[in-house]
Structure 1
Amino acid sequence: MARDRRWDPCIAHHGPEADAFVADYFALKDRRVLFVAGAGFDPRSRTVAERLVAAGASVRAIFFQENRPNALQGLIDRASANTDALLAAIADREVVPVDIFGADGAVTGGRNVVAILNRQQFDGITDIVIDISALSVGTSFPIIRYFLERIERRKGPANLHVFVAHDPKLDADIRSVPSDSPGYVHGFKGGSTLDSFATAAKLWLPQLAAGRRRALGRLHDFVAPHDTCPILPFPATNPRLGDALAEEYLTELESGWLVDTRNIVYADESDPVDLYRTILRLDDLRKPVFAETGGSLLVLSPFGSKVMALGALMAALERDLPVAHLEPIGYDLGSSVPTEIAAPNLVHIWLEGDVYPQPRPALLIEGKTAK
């Protein structure tokens, strides 16, 4: 009998457990890995690659290099150093440049990475490993959806792993410069495109992050929700982070978005499964309430912490929820950002694979099962 929720329970590892999992599982001789990651300026770019190599894994790698217009020279230099290190670590690899914006300014990154993956061969691969540490939401979400849909259609490979090096301070220090074109992440329009949701009660769930007021303001105007439930990290590495964010967004909460304090959502900063379950509970609670008046539609906007963004991704995949996003046109690094992370805190989610009982709950894509 199928379970009600696709990732409850969920196979996940954190910190030393994640390191131990990589060392043990990927050392097995029957594992053949396709490793998908970013070759960018983020100091976490090398983390998972180095651990896979240290485990003795059989790895073929695709490194996506996200290209944005007028990138700062300092970022280019960092990306080049990380790319050289990745090329030296893995012999069977390719670096694939990806234009995030088209000539007309339209966001094309998600569509471009999917087109590149469609040209790949997966014969003999047992495990897909995706490291989102140095990938943006606009590229990482479509990549993960692409492989999940392949598995759902029984095209394999069977095992899908997602890794991220958890560092909320680093996420905050990497400041994005938002573009002027809000929209939905490629493959994540969800119910927003269906006529049946035209009159739905729209609830926006933005993940609050420091220094993102302008971007979230534009997204609020784009989504035009009936209600807003901001997501704050708690517990968090910085125990005062939630209070600091509430203070930063006080104008939006009180007068811009008209948020009732009882509607603020709290989720564990270090555990993507916590936010995933919280979003699903909200969805379950709202469906019967609005069933007779046009239905309910949740719209997600992950910002800041990559771990919490992963939780939002899992909920979006399971319930076919739209993900409204403002793609960064560039980045600005804080002065404290290092060139490399010495002891990263890995988080691993085993999204699909041999460990889960069958049949799996159906995956929805724009209201239809992915079969």
Structure 2
Amino acid sequence: MRDHWGNCVTHFDEEVEGFIAEYFGQSDRKCFLVAAAGFDPRSPIIPNLLSKTLGSNLHAVFVREERGENNEEVLRTSADQNEEELRKTISNSRVERITIFDPADNAPIGGNRVAAVLSGIQLPEGTTDLVLDMSALSMGIAFPAARILLDIAERSDGLNLHLMIASNPELDVSIVGEPGEKVQSVRGFAGNAGRDVDIPKARIWLPQLAQKRRGALERIKASLTDLYKICPILPFPARDPRRADALIEEFGDEIRGDWAVDSRDFMYVSERNPLDSFRSIEMLRRRYENTVKDIFDPQLILSPVGSKVMAAGAMMAAIKYELTVQYVEVLRYEIDETAAKAPKMDIVHVWLDGPIYKGYAQQ
């Protein structure tokens, strides 16, 4: 099971549009989409692409992440506009408003709420494909949603699961989130950190470095004890060839100070291909476990706080190997108008599960 993930069928940019037109254009295709209905301008991109081909054969649930009155008025207005556009684009759809924080104690509950919604979903009769659009979903929502949808797909006969992402690293930088105080595991991604073993634990933390995410990563680091090593993940190759260098400079105090990162411990993964992130984490895990076998209990802890494409690969690794994903939920967002403007959107498709992988054997 899931042995094919290192070699999933993938498409990029214009290839994605061609795939949607050819594959979803078949008359027997009936698709159920889970996507965001938020302020992020990427919200309508994938739904629009699918709707043009599938028409009435497309059904959808759109998640509206509610953070109370914390967000700026302009962001709520943008979210309202995107929600209205999505309702018009896909008539067979509904919007689920997911409360991210418990009003009683401000504890993050969004993951549990979205898991409850999707676990109880009734797919339209004849559904052949599930699509999770991660473009504008927060990690605390996207990761639990992926796990639930994968479980549905794997328990069903003939059901396909696709991940799709409209990615733009420059836009990510312009969306600034204020991290909350509580560090926790993403719902469904506690990993094996709590298992009881007789040998000492050896933890490696893999923080995904991203611009303007120092606050979140500092909180996560402060919550982790007895770390054996820290291996920061950097985007390379990237659309901006100097993005990795800029991140090393931005996190220089942490890298040289409390984190004590050896230059050999940086991980470089593609900003464009989620399978590169998956394979890199998979390889590190395999080598690490072989090295400390029977001496230490190896544990990888992931914190993918930046690019959704890189995060998708980390999510796949976390699901396959039961790894821990630590994060800090965002209290509120604002737009940094001084950030560099986004030149273009990158579109990514990963065919995660389905009958095409039946009988796959890892070579």
In structure 2, the partner of 1:272 is: 274
Structure 1 equivalent of residue 355 of structure 2: 354
Question: In the alignment, does 2:66 pair up with 1:67?
Answer: yes
1:260-317 Cα shifts (integer Å, max 9, x gaps): 0110110111111001000000000011211122321101000111111111111111
**Does the CA-based 8 Å contact 1:164-1:346 persist in structure 2?**
yes
- For normalisation by structure 2, the TM-score amounts to 0.94
Instruction: Tell me if the contact between 2:153 and 2:159 (Cα under 8 Å) persists in the aligned partners.
Output: yes
- Could you say what secondary structure the match of 2:48 adopts? helix
Amino acid at match of 2:287: L
Where 1:355 maps in the other structure, the secondary structure is helix
State which of 43, 62, 68 in structure 2 corresponds to 1:45. 43
Instruction: Report the AA paired with residue 284 of structure 1.
Output: R
SS in 2 for 1:188: coil
Q: Say yes or no: does 1:170 pair with 2:171.
A: yes
Q: Specify the SS of the correspondent of 2:60.
A: strand
Against the structure 1 CA distance between its residues 276 and 210, is the aligned structure 2 distance closer, same or farther, given a 3 Å change threshold?
A: same
Contact 2:158 2:355 in 1 (8 A): no
Whole-angstrom CA distance in 2 between matches of 1:91 and 1:288: 52
Relative distance call for 1:354 and 1:253 in structure 2 (3 A) is same
- 1:17-96 map, 5 Å: 17-57=15-55, 58-69=57-68, 70-96=70-96
Amino acid at match of 1:36: V
2:178 and 2:157 map into 1 onto residues whose CA distance is 37
CA distance in 1, matches of 2:235, 2:183: 24
Shift of 1:134: 1.0
**Fraction of identical pairs, as percent:** 38
Determine whether 1:242 maps to 2:244: yes
Letter of the 2:21 partner, please give it. A
| CA distance in structure 2 between the aligned counterparts of 1:39 and 1:330, rounded to whole angstroms | 16
Change (3 A) 1:28 1:101: same
**Matches of 2:245 and 2:343, distance apart in 1:** 29
Residue segments in structure 1 that go unaligned for 5+ positions in a row: 362-371
- Of the structure 1 ranges 63-72 and 342-351, higher mean CA displacement relative to structure 2 is found in 342-351
Q: Structure 1 residues 354 and 336 mapped into 2: Cα distance closer, same or farther (>3 Å)?
A: farther
Change (3 A) 1:168 1:150: same
Q: CA separation in 2, counterparts of 1:198 and 1:290? A: 11
What CA distance in whole angstroms lies between the structure 2 residues aligned with 1:11 and 1:351?
Answer: 8
Q: Distance in 1 between matches of 2:158 and 2:145?
A: 14
Q: Structure 2 residue aligned with 1:15, among 13, 19, 32?
A: 13
Structure 2 residue identity aligned to 1:279: I
Given the superposition, is the C-alpha separation of residues 157 and 145 from structure 1 closer, same or farther in structure 2, using an over 3 Å criterion? farther
Q: Tell me, what secondary structure is at the counterpart of 2:146?
A: helix
Amino acid of the residue matched to residue 44 of structure 2?
R
Count, aligned residues: 357
SS state of the match for residue 239, structure 1?
Answer: coil
Deviations 1:199-238 (A, max 9, x none): 3210000000111111101101112222100001111111
The RMSD of aligned alpha carbons is 2.0
Letter matched to residue 202 of structure 1 = R
One-letter code aligned to 2:97? P
Is the CA contact (8 Å cut-off) linking 1:128 and 1:157 kept in structure 2? no
- In the TM superposition, 1:275-286 aligns within 5 A as 275-286=277-288
1:318 aligned partner: 320
Task: Give the distance between the partners of 2:249 and 2:158, measured in 1 at CA.
Answer: 46
41 and 344 in structure 1: CA distance in 2 versus 1, 3 angstrom threshold: same
Structure 1 residues 113 and 259 mapped into 2: Cα distance closer, same or farther (>3 Å)? same
TM-superposed deviation, 1:197: 8.4
Contact 1:171–1:306 (Cα < 8 Å) also in 2: no
How far apart, CA to CA, are the structure 2 residues paired with 1:30 and 1:112? 32
> Partner amino acid for 1:229?
C
- Between the aligned partners of 1:337 and 1:115, the Cα distance in structure 2 is 37
Letter in 2 for 1:62: V
Q: Secondary structure at the match of 1:144?
A: helix
Aligned to 2:147: 145
| Offset at residue 195 of structure 1 (A) | 1.3
Letter in 1 for 2:90: I
Q: CA deviation at 1:23?
A: 1.3
TM-score (norm 1): 0.92
Deviations 1:143-184 (A, max 9, x none): 0000112233x2366200010002111111111110000100
Q: Does 1:195 align with 2:196?
A: yes
Task: Check conservation: 2:202, 2:299, Cα contact below 8 A.
Answer: yes
- Conservation of the 8 A alpha-carbon contact between 1:191 and 1:197: no
SS of the equivalent of 2:4 reads: coil
SS in structure 1 at match of 2:358: coil
Contact map agreement 2:168 2:344 (CA 8 A) in 1: no
Against the structure 1 CA distance between its residues 156 and 141, is the aligned structure 2 distance closer, same or farther, given a 3 Å change threshold?
farther
Any stretches of 5+ residues in structure 2 without a counterpart?
none
Alignment partners' CA distance in 1, 2:309 and 2:317 = 13
